């Protein structure tokens, strides 16, 4: 296949890309909530993986800020991983999880999503926008991001995307608060039932294994209607160990990738960030942004989108994972969010003595009031540009909690 041959010639800065293949095994392969058998569903599995939007280092794009970097090699890998997670949420939003990419076949919604991530300043989620907005999080242009930083930046950028009507909630302190999210996603909810100060928690007591979760209404439509529920990308930054991942969290981590709401995990290993999309056994399946490609303008009739899709997975042992990660979930409707909460309670917060994170219905009474992001954009005068290519280490992973 010509496309496979073309992609396999891409290189890292230091040598050839090391691709893997899906192994023949009796164990199921999970790809963001979808189970496959490599013995019976291999072609379907490969097509699902190929259909993910692959965003890598690029070169020869317009200078960021007018005078800044024209490539992101060496500093942009976490930014690219954040882009990939968000791109998947937008594909789920506009095309559906079952959508599949077909080479040389034009798909209007898919193309519109992809164009949001092109390397030019007027694209909503370009490297230019992310790097510039990073200044509001204390990151100079050209500086390496951690998983929490890229999540906070994307949360600020998404408010300008009126077509998607997507909201991003970054759940801090290893804790998801249901009412905070419903205040954010459900128009009018905060005026009637939102427990801003956690008074319901004070009265009834808040526990991660609360039985108050409502069962999912199977008759509810899965159709996305932003007037009733704004589609949600929930990002949960976590630190699962000091220098190495604590083995007690491994099963919970794999469970998250098996949820139908999953849009993967951003994290990596020292000096490299990856977007993890699934697992088989104790191997994590991921897309690697550390390939430097020439920037593409899809408006050029000679260009195509082949370089945004990778046919070969990369894999690594889950114990090699850096303990600082951010887990992502997409919920297009309120019923999907309710189902996610029920699933988390069943498999994460109630099953483990040391849960990977907590889920509460109401805010703990000692927490400050919830304040959704206002959407204020920093002025361009605040942006700064680094002379070099930026940080070469992963020291910017955040310690949460």
* Whether the predicted pLDDT of 341 surpasses 60: yes
Active site residue 77: yes
Active site residue 288: yes
Q: What is the pLDDT of residues 357-368, one digit of tens each?
A: 999 999 988 989
pLDDT band at 208 (very low <50, low <70, confident <90, very high): very low
* Whether the predicted pLDDT of 11 surpasses 60: no
The proportion of the chain whose per-residue pLDDT surpasses 90, expressed as a percent, equals 72
Q: Whole-angstrom Cα distance, residue 270 to residue 79? A: 16
* Whether the predicted pLDDT of 381 surpasses 90: no
Active site residue 194: no
Check 290, 310, 312, 341 and give the catalytic one: 290
Going through 142-194 in order, the beta strands assigned E by DSSP cover 167-170, 175-177
What is the structure's pLDDT at 107?
A: 95
* Whether the predicted pLDDT of 299 surpasses 90: no
Check 77, 314, 341, 391 and give the catalytic one: 77
Q: What is the pLDDT of residues 237-270, one digit of tens each?
A: 999 999 999 999 999 999 999 999 999 999 998 7
Q: What is the pLDDT of residues 122-178, one digit of tens each?
A: 999 999 999 999 999 999 999 999 999 999 999 999 999 999 999 999 999 999 999
pTM confidence score: 0.85
For 71, which DSSP code?
Answer: B
Residue 253, classed as helix, strand or coil, is helix
Mean residue pLDDT across the chain: 85
Check 72, 119, 195, 288 and give the catalytic one: 288
């Amino acid at each position: 296949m010509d496309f496979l041959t073309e992609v396999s010639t891409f290189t890292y800065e230091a040598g050839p890309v090391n691709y893997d293949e899906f192994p023949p095994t009796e164990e199921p392969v999970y790809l963001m909530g979808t189970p496959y058998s490599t013995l019976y569903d291999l072609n379907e599995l490969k097509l699902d993986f190929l259909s993910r939007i692959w965003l890598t280092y690029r070169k020869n794009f317009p200078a960021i800020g007018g005078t800044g970097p024209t490539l992101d090699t060496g500093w942009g890998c976490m930014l690219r991983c954040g882009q990939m997670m968000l791109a998947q949420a937008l594909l789920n939003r506009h095309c559906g999880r079952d959508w599949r990419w077909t080479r040389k076949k034009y798909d209007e919604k898919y193309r519109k999503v992809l164009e949001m991530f092109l390397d030019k300043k007027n694209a909503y989620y370009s490297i230019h926008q992310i790097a510039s907005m990073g200044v509001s999080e204390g990151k100079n242009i050209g500086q390496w991001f951690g998983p929490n930083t890229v999540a906070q930046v994307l949360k600020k950028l998404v408010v300008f995307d009126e077509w998607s009507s997507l909201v991003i909630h970054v759940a801090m302190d290893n804790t998801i608060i249901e009412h905070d999210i419903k205040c954010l996603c459900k128009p009018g909810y905060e005026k009637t039932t939102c427990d801003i100060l956690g008074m319901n928690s004070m009265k009834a007591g808040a526990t991660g294994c609360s039985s108050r979760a409502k069962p999912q209404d199977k008759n509810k439509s899965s159709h996305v209607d932003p007037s009733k529920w704004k589609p949600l990308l929930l990002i949960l930054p976590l630190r699962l160990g000091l220098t190495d991942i604590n083995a007690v969290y491994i099963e919970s981590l794999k469970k998250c990738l098996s949820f139908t709401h999953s849009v993967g995990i951003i994290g990596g290993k020292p000096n490299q960030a990856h977007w993890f999309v699934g697992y088989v056994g104790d191997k994590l399946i991921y897309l690697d942004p550390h390939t430097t490609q020439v920037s593409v303008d899809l408006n050029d009739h000679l260009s195509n989108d082949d370089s945004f899709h990778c046919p070969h997975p990369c894999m690594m042992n889950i114990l090699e994972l850096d303990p600082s990660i951010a887990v992502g979930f997409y919920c297009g409707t309120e019923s999907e969010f309710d189902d996610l909460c029920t699933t988390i309670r069943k498999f994460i917060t109630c099953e483990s003595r040391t849960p990977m994170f907590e889920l509460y219905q109401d805010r703990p009474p000692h927490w400050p009031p919830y304040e959704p992001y206002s959407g204020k954009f920093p002025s361009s005068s605040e942006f700064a540009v680094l002379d070099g290519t930026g940080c070469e280490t992963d020291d910017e992973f955040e310690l949460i909690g």
